[in-house]
Structure 1
Amino acid sequence: MREIVFDTETTGLNPATGDRMVEIGCVELVNKVETGRTFHAYFNPERAMPAEAEAIHGLSAIFLSDKNCFREHALELLEFIGDCPLVAHNASFDFGFLNFELEVCGHPPVSMFRMVDTVAIARSRHPGAKHSLDALCSRYGIDRSHRVKHGALLDAQLLAQVYVELTGGRQIGLSLAASASADPLTTISLAPRARPYRAPRPHHASAAELAAHAAFVSLLTDPLWPVPAAG
């Protein structure tokens, strides 16, 4: 199964009030394993960069001024994401900006039925806990020491690892079907093992043991249970 984990950086919180996407990073997963294929691009938002947004992702208007606009990367992006599920953290935010940019340049929006929200999954798996990307990385022991500022591709790569943990962990791709061509060190065989025959051991008392027990019981003067009469 192919899935795309993605993240965006923007000039603000709401495209309806003039905010624009300035970066997108996508990571390809197949059967919950990273393939190494990614898509990454910066976009010229054709507007000023608010100081509070720049403080989060570090992308200045000067840095973005020579970058292409979103419309120049739209077809390449659409080809990369295809029609598979799209995974994002607080996904409605990223989907909102992605679909706004697509509509601005005349492309149909991405269906919301493709949305997989890792915040919703984390709330279900860990109710009452913190669900930020940083908190989830700490919970699952994912190294984020190189995350000084937000970055779309870096965050998508971290989120891909978090998503795998949220949906079953690193063992999720373990196949129990033995293959003749598989590496014998990693193949799990479900065939029954040959076991040597072991004759059953007697557990009943021997005649001598029964006689010794009867002799002992006959010596009791005040037993707690009735002594059976000799047959």
Structure 2
Amino acid sequence: MSLDNVELMQGAGRVIVFDTETTGMNDGAGGIHVGHRVIEIGCIELINRRPTGRTYHVYIKPDRLVDPEAIAVHGITDAFLQDKPSFSSIANEFIAFIDGAELVAHNASFDTSFIDHEFRLLNKGLPATKEICKVTDTLAIAKKLFPGKRNNLDALCNRYGIDNTHRTLHGALLDAEILADVYLYMTGGQTKLNLSQDSAHGQGSGVRRVAASRAPLKVVHATDDELKAHDERLGIVGNPLWQVH
């Protein structure tokens, strides 16, 4: 599968916003897993805070049943996953896509702990995610920005005015797209990704290029009255430094 020369895009402010879906939750005891597996990975690529239109998306056959509680969250069934690739067959292309980038996730320790668990199961001596790329947790950022408030993805979308009404079920690529908008707002930028996607359970996988655009900023100029009032205010200040010639 072609990676579209991803190695040429590494560095230069390369950010991968990423999410996973799994067969179930870990047991919460220090991230120790109880046999649950990754079944979907979704990544959105940004370079210099702009979406490139490239994504990495794959469904994965976990070789175990999906918990009914997890299906209620993401809608991914055992039958749907039967013909999907194993993690071992996509591990190298996933690592190549994230290598050297800043990896951004919401509650990043959850997603990276599952990925690291998959790496360990391969028994190939693969490094932990944090050794492949820098990991940034948007949940930690949100807790600093909005202490004491709800900071899940839905709450942040509501706070920043991001439309997530199309999100009836969780999905790794869809959640990564939404999180990319949230991340850019949280860190001082505004970008509309406008990613055109297939149905929630499309059959394709791997690296894709999709339409992306940046919404133009509205420029509001001061009126003549506002400029006059501004000059009068400066007269009260008296020869401000930026007017001294």
**TM-score > 0.5 by shorter chain:** yes
CA distance in 1 between partners of 2:78 and 2:168 (Å)? 20
Tell me, what secondary structure is at the counterpart of 1:17?
A: coil
Residue 103 of structure 1, CA deviation:
2.0
CA distance in 2 between partners of 1:3 and 1:149 (Å)? 25
Query: Within the alignment, does 1:110 sit opposite 2:122 as a pair?
Result: no
More relative contact order, 1 or 2 (CA 8 Å, 6+ apart) = 2
Q: Which residue of 2 aligns with 1:223?
A: none
Which runs of 4 or more aligned residues in structure 1 lie more than 3 Å from their structure 2 counterparts after TM superposition? none
Q: Which residue of 1 aligns with 2:161?
A: 141
Counterpart AA for 1:43: I
CA distance in 1 between partners of 2:142 and 2:152 (Å)? 9
Q: Which residue of 1 aligns with 2:57?
A: 40
Any stretches of 5+ residues in structure 1 without a counterpart?
172-185, 187-231
Counterpart AA for 1:5: V
Counterpart AA for 1:53: A
Identical aligned pairs, as a percentage?
51
Q: Which of these two proteins has the greater Rg computed from alpha carbons?
A: 1
Query: Within the alignment, does 1:82 sit opposite 2:88 as a pair?
Result: no
Tell me, what secondary structure is at the counterpart of 1:86?
A: strand
CA distance in 2 between partners of 1:140 and 1:120 (Å)? 17
Aligned partner (choices 5, 11, 28) of residue 23 of structure 2: 11
Residue 53 of structure 1, CA deviation:
0.5
Query: Within the alignment, does 1:56 sit opposite 2:73 as a pair?
Result: yes
Tell me, what secondary structure is at the counterpart of 2:45?
A: strand
Q: Which residue of 1 aligns with 2:142?
A: 122
CA distance in 1 between partners of 2:106 and 2:161 (Å)? 18
CA distance in 2 between partners of 1:7 and 1:32 (Å)? 18
Q: Which residue of 1 aligns with 2:112?
A: 95
Residue 78 of structure 1, CA deviation:
0.9
Residue 128 of structure 1, CA deviation:
1.8
CA distance in 1 between partners of 2:164 and 2:33 (Å)? 32
CA RMSD of aligned residues (A): 1.9
Q: For residues 121-147 of structure 1, give each alpha carbon's deviation from its aligned partner in whole angstroms, at most 9, with x where no partner exists.
A: 001111122101001011111111110
Aligned partner (choices 174, 178, 202) of residue 158 of structure 1: 178
Any stretches of 5+ residues in structure 2 without a counterpart?
1-12, 27-31, 192-216, 218-245
Aligned length: 174
